[in-house]
Amino acid sequence: MSENQEAAPPHYRVAVIGTGFAGIGTAVRLKQAGLEDIVLLERADDVGGTWRDNTYPGAACDVPSHLYSFSFAPNPDWSRSFSPQPEIWDYLRRVAKDYDVVRHVRFGHDVTEARWEPEGNRWRVHTTGGTVTAQFLVTGCGPLADPSIPDLPGLDSFEGRVFHSATWDHDHDLTGRKVGVVGTGASAIQFIPEIQPKVGEMRVFQRTPPWVIPRHDRNITALERRIYNAVPAVQRLARTLIYWGRENYIFGFAKNTRLLTVVEKLALANLRRGVKDPELRRKLIPDYTIGCKRILLSNDYYPALNAPNVDVVTDSIAEVQPDAVVTRDGTRHEVDTLIFGTGFHVTDSPIAHRIRDAEGVLLADRWNQEAGMSALRGTTVAGYPNLFVLAGPNTGLGHTSQLFMLEAQVGYTMAALRYAHDRGTDRLEPRAEAQEAYTQWVQKKMEGTVWVTGGCDSWYLNDQGRNTTLWPGFTWDYKLRTGRFDPGNYHLGAVPGAERTRSRQGARAEARGALAPR
């Protein structure tokens, strides 16, 4: 090799971005299909995704534990009916180790750009740890990856400590502090009760109150865990019953919103139990239909707000000063710590700002031009061949486990890769008309759902007021629609075998039948 000649970057059949549930689940299925020619690109130094990053006090899942695991890797040892963050993270690390995924991970590889190269039918992926190429690219970043902090005037001038719930500062002792909490979403209602007893004063800056129903959480007994270990079918039955119970929520969310009045009464009773002060209770009653925003689960959020050292502020924030937050009514609220519980970039997917087509057009810009995110089956995007977007447009859920949808998407991805392998196809790109027809069908199904008619401004909606986030129906319906690959909706390209760009490892994998139909 000459001095001026650069070595070609390593090439893989499949590159996966991220090592949360989506990335690990994809890697396991690829390996089970016999494909070892894969790489997982992870920006951090460990696997786990959002469950690695969100370590705030009280962090836990709001989906029952038995339903919040891979179908192929049940966990009989959950300690509670709603799993705490450390257990979920341990579960993910254990699955990655048990299924031999870790050796495929390149830690410290934050993707800065991925660009499609049509001359080789491959993706060139630049990361902070180097460059790789891959025939197929799977994004497993998820919607809860990059924290969203509002652009408040004067925030840069604040002299105290500032952090988001997803980047919790555990070195900052909150004992006796004057704490301001911005936001009252799913994370905030978990950490507020945890820190309330130790802080001196707390101001909760609430833009919109959430609907909160009781959280039926309990310890899973040692006897139950022994039974689940000895007779796995018992846990599978529990999982099935929970699944169908959760699926029933769709009747109220998407079929007949009047059914939600029962859930609303449950939430109001929860509020009355937790808050005795009529004035505070008035501040905490939402003015929109329950379910329009994410329904939250908590038994201790309302009692925490009722504590004497907590004040709920409903006036909007005008500015931040070096030692205070000033609201529109002119009141200065002195604080020395600001904690943001303001969620994540969901409708403005951060990874879409790093993916370019052959002409260099960012996926984010393409979606902005088209009134928001869209993808065929929520997974593949016209103009971006060989790209699979997990947790993509209109695959989110407001009622049950996101893992069900992720596994359906992974199944669809695997079916596409098997089709490519069997037909000698090096390029799969959804037809624009097929993607548009699918998107219009999804948006038609969205009409009349509580997410559109409920009268709220939620993170489910993009700037155009369009719900590009949630799946508007039963999850079993989505699974049926992604159960097989639909080649008629795709442009298919084939390159003669001798001209294929692939690693020698990939060639050996194909020779021994990797990705053969199962």
**Residue range 301-327, pLDDT digits in tens:** 999 999 999 999 999 999 999 999 999
* 496 three-class SS: coil
One domain, residues 182 and 140: no
Q: Kindly state the average pLDDT of the residues 348-358.
A: 92
One domain, residues 380 and 478: yes
* Amino acid 25: pLDDT: 98
If you search the block for the tokens 């260099």, which residue do you land on?
360
403 within a domain of the structure (yes/no): yes
Q: Kindly state the average pLDDT of the residues 61-68.
A: 95
One domain, residues 253 and 326: yes
427 in Cβ contact with 121 (< 8 Å): yes
Please name the amino acid found at residue 439.
Answer: T
377 within a domain of the structure (yes/no): yes
One domain, residues 332 and 353: no
Q: Kindly state the average pLDDT of the residues 172-182.
A: 97
Residues forming a β-bridge with 428: 492
* Amino acid 346: pLDDT: 65
321 within a domain of the structure (yes/no): yes
Tens of pLDDT along 1-59? 444 456 899 999 999 999 999 999 999 999 999 999 999 999 999 999 999 999 999 99
253 in Cβ contact with 450 (< 8 Å): yes
Q: Which of 84, 79, 78 is nearest to 56 (CA)?
A: 84
One domain, residues 170 and 261: yes
One domain, residues 202 and 265: yes
What is the C-alpha separation between 398 and 448, in angstroms, rounded? 16
87 within a domain of the structure (yes/no): no
Entry pTM: 0.92
Give the end of a domain, one of 322, 340, 358.
340
Which of the four pLDDT bands, split at 50, 70 and 90, describes residue 506? very low
One domain, residues 304 and 326: yes
Domain that holds residue 300: 155-210+248-340
Tens of pLDDT along 412-456? 999 999 999 999 999 999 999 999 999 999 999 999 999 998 888
* Amino acid 347: pLDDT: 65
Q: What are phi and psi of 137, to 5 degrees?
A: -125, 130
If you search the block for the tokens 């902005």, which residue do you land on?
368
What is the C-alpha separation between 499 and 511, in angstroms, rounded? 16
Q: Kindly state the average pLDDT of the residues 293-301.
A: 95
502 within a domain of the structure (yes/no): yes
If you search the block for the tokens 């169908």, which residue do you land on?
244
Give the CATH number for residue 169.
3.50.50.60
One domain, residues 175 and 255: yes
If you search the block for the tokens 């989110």, which residue do you land on?
396
One domain, residues 392 and 482: yes
Q: Which of 302, 484, 478 is nearest to 394 (CA)?
A: 478
One domain, residues 256 and 300: yes
What is the C-alpha separation between 502 and 377, in angstroms, rounded? 27
340 in Cβ contact with 143 (< 8 Å): no
Residue 335 CB coordination number (10 Å) = 24
Q: Which of 361, 418, 430 is nearest to 392 (CA)?
A: 430
Tokens describing residue 486? 């639909």
259 within a domain of the structure (yes/no): yes
Bigger pLDDT: 16 vs 505: 16
What is the C-alpha separation between 248 and 472, in angstroms, rounded? 13
* Amino acid 1: pLDDT: 47
Tell me how many helices (H) and strands (E) the chain has. 16, 20
Give the end of a domain, one of 340, 371, 406.
340
* Number of domains the chain is built from: 2
| SS (HEC) of 215-273 | CCCCECCHHHHHHHHHCHHHHHHHHHHHHHHHHCHHHHHHHCHHHHHHHHHHHHHHHHH
Detail the DSSP E strand segments found in 270-409. 296-297, 310-313, 317-321, 324-327, 332-334, 337-340, 355-356, 387-389
Give the end of a domain, one of 340, 364, 396.
340
What is the C-alpha separation between 449 and 6, in angstroms, rounded? 55
Bigger pLDDT: 508 vs 195: 195
172 within a domain of the structure (yes/no): yes
For the chain, what is the largest distance between any 2 Cα atoms, rounded to a whole number of angstroms?
79
One domain, residues 390 and 409: yes
445 within a domain of the structure (yes/no): no
* Amino acid 6: pLDDT: 66
Residue 386: pLDDT above 70?
Answer: yes
Mean pLDDT of the chain: 92
One domain, residues 383 and 412: yes
Tokens describing residue 56? 């705030």
Please name the amino acid found at residue 434.
Answer: A
Residue 148 CB coordination number (10 Å) = 16
Tens of pLDDT along 102-152? 999 999 999 999 999 999 999 999 999 999 999 999 999 877 767 888 999
* Amino acid 3: pLDDT: 45
56 in Cβ contact with 187 (< 8 Å): yes
What is the C-alpha separation between 52 and 65, in angstroms, rounded? 17
